[in-house]
Structure 1
Amino acid sequence: MNKIAASDDLGLTLQAGLVTKTLVGLFGFDRFRLAVSADGCTFFDGLSVDNANGIVDQPQLPRFKAYTKHDNYVGVGTWTKIGLNSSDYNVQGVFDAGIYLFTVPVDGTYLFGATLLFKVNSSTSARMRGRLVLNGATEIRGTYGEISGAHVSEATALGLQTMVPLTAGDTVELQGYFRAQDGYFAADYTSFWGCKIG
């Protein structure tokens, strides 16, 4: 099989009830692609392979990276959801920057990470903690951490990372906490990210 121009089509079309549900091949360009459709009109690339280097891409893979545009004040002794009100990317719209919440779009295994950057309010004797919380109530195992040594404003950071199986509709949020003294989680560098990996 051969096609003349990169913009031509060459591949297989799989249909159900005479409606095209899947395209496999070189459709519209020279990258190999696997695309699916619910209605035969709008197609989503589930998989594509760059013909110049063999790199595989999953364009629709749920993933996000959110951060806060303002310093988040947190008092002593209270777990508080961090106001992550902006995102660097947000494929599938899985992160809601209005309520600072990731919502699981499909069942699977997800990888998450977060960075909390300390900013002083009244004292560098503050001790910051962080965690990820499932469905607003349950701490996700492996995500709790604290920096218990001396803090330096806008330099001391706490990193969190874990992998967890989740069900569609579950939510995950980043929470921060201070003991000893209050403080801020700093703008621009306090962030939360995640992606589906299985």
Structure 2
Amino acid sequence: MSTPMSTTRNLALPLIAAAQAQKHVTHNEALGLLDALVQIACLDKDRSEPPSAPAEGDRYLVPADPGGAWTGLGGQIACFQGGVWIGLAPRPGWLAWLVDEGEAYLFTGSGWTPLAATLRTLRDLAGLGVNTVPDAENRLAVKADGALFSWDETRAEAGDVRLALNKRAAGRDAALSFQAGFSARALLGLLGDDDLALKVSADGAAFVTALTVAAASGRVRLPAGLDGTPVGAADPAAGRFSALALVPEAADPAGGALGQVAVNGTDGALKWFDGARWARIANLAKFTARTNYDNYVPAGTWTRIAFNEAVSNDQGAFRAAQNRFVAPEAGLYRLGAALTYRRNGTGQPSLFEARFHRGGTPAGHGRAAAAGPLADGVTGLRLDAVLPLAAGETVEVFARLTGADGYAAAAESAFHGAQLP
């Protein structure tokens, strides 16, 4: 038959015995011990003797070999109760708050250790998980909606924050992996060499290099075709093209910042914002046209030359049916024309002239003349002008003969122009 316990196992609180007289004494003693041990807050731990005027309930962590009324209480918790000091022996795992230090202490079984120092011993851990479990590959695992790294304001020289990813050798990876469903969709970092690279993937298995930045020169490089074919030899029908693409918009963006680049799908043009407007930098309007018959020019009358066939016509800016060029957008255009004189019968004009008309009236730029005698099939005129045109503005070629009529010969006559970037 076991002997009944007289105190509790952990706090050594006195137990009331069966048929005990004056049970209240034992009960009150137990309450007093609970009051001393629960939520322990001690005033000091460095005194070798008790204070001269303690208050009821004061508690201290007693050092080894104390003197005075604490003699024999070394290593215990001294509590002033009922006018006397009683000693309470701590057990491993107990926590006590030191009021004078503002620090929590942990009793290890051999002494009191600052809890902060205990936390600092958390090093060389095999793994650490925050709201999840680490594994052999991911020794630090965090499961959260966000993570914050901020500069250390406690250090005078602080202010920078750097996250270092250090790889063993140039041929290894030091990268950030962006995943969906724990399957990588993008890799950013030093991937297999020391150049910065961005790679993307649709399935987490096959990756396409979107761009690289050379470590030696800082140059940004675009990759070859998606299947490794050089971009110059790419076959769009087979899906091989540069990984860099500007998505076309139906119209120029509203506003813009200097240097921005966009594609206008309606105009079929790559454009940049020059600070005031979106201007073409590729697929500029240009044309060359001819006439397929000799154009009759009466004497003394400015007559439009019917250039009615387009030899080439980027942007469809030349309108053969109207024998004119129509500016697709506002800008600067260089225009030129060549006319050859052809005689009508025995007539001998004294002057052969040509000029550009802009918007139906003389342009004031680009005029040429040849004075008689005019040689049939030999005398020619050349016009050249750079004209600022509004969108939709037209340019035509007119000719005039003085003294007699004649023709602008189909042979050797041409009209051409190009938009300047």
Do both proteins adopt the same fold according to a TM-score greater than 0.5, normalized to the shorter chain?
A: yes
Unpaired runs of at least 5, structure 1? 15-19, 23-33, 48-56
- Is 1:92 equivalent to 2:315 in the alignment? yes
Partner of 1:76: 299
Q: Which structure: greater strand fraction?
A: 1
Q: Is the 8 A contact 1:124 1:152 kept in 2?
A: no
Q: Is the 8 A contact 2:347 2:405 kept in 1?
A: no
Q: Is the 8 A contact 2:343 2:407 kept in 1?
A: yes
* Structure 1 residues 58-137: aligned runs within 5 Å: 58=282, 60-123=283-346, 125-126=348-349, 127-137=351-361
Using the size of structure 1 for normalisation, the TM-score is 0.76
Partner of 2:263: 36
- Is 1:156 equivalent to 2:383 in the alignment? no
Partner of 2:398: 175
Q: Distance in 1 between matches of 2:342 and 2:374?
A: 9
Partner of 2:419: 196
1:11 aligns with one of 223, 243, 262: 243
Instruction: Output one character per residue of 1:33-73: Cα deviation in whole Å (capped at 9) or x when no partner.
Output: x983548xxx94649xxxxxxxxx94x21011111100011
Q: Distance in 1 between matches of 2:339 and 2:326?
A: 21
Q: Distance in 1 between matches of 2:366 and 2:241?
A: 47
**Cα RMSD between the aligned structures?**
2.5
1:142 aligns with one of 326, 342, 365: 365
Q: 1:84 is aligned with what amino acid?
A: F
Q: Distance in 1 between matches of 2:284 and 2:244?
A: 23
Q: Distance in 2 between matches of 1:112 and 1:13?
A: 33
Going from structure 1 to structure 2, the CA distance change for 1:120 and 1:21 (only over 3 Å counts) comes to same
Decide which structure has the larger Cα Rg and report it. 2
Q: Is the 8 A contact 2:304 2:397 kept in 1?
A: yes
How big is the shift at 1:189?
Answer: 1.8
Using the size of structure 2 for normalisation, the TM-score is 0.37
Q: Which runs of 4+ in 1 moved over 2 A?
A: 5-14, 34-39, 43-47, 122-125
Partner of 2:169: none
Unpaired runs of at least 5, structure 2? 1-208, 210-222, 235-239, 250-260, 272-280
Going from structure 1 to structure 2, the CA distance change for 1:121 and 1:10 (only over 3 Å counts) comes to closer
Q: 1:194 is aligned with what amino acid?
A: G
How big is the shift at 1:10?
Answer: 3.7
Q: Is the 8 A contact 2:337 2:383 kept in 1?
A: yes
Q: Distance in 2 between matches of 1:189 and 1:158?
A: 10
2:248 aligns with one of 14, 21, 37: 21
Q: Which structure: greater helix fraction?
A: 2
**Any idea what SS the aligned residue of 1:11 has?**
coil
The percent of aligned pairs where both chains have the same amino acid is: 30
How big is the shift at 1:146?
Answer: 1.2
Q: 1:82 is aligned with what amino acid?
A: I
Where relative contact order (Cα < 8 A, 6+ residues apart) is larger, the structure is 1
Q: Is the 8 A contact 1:35 1:44 kept in 2?
A: no
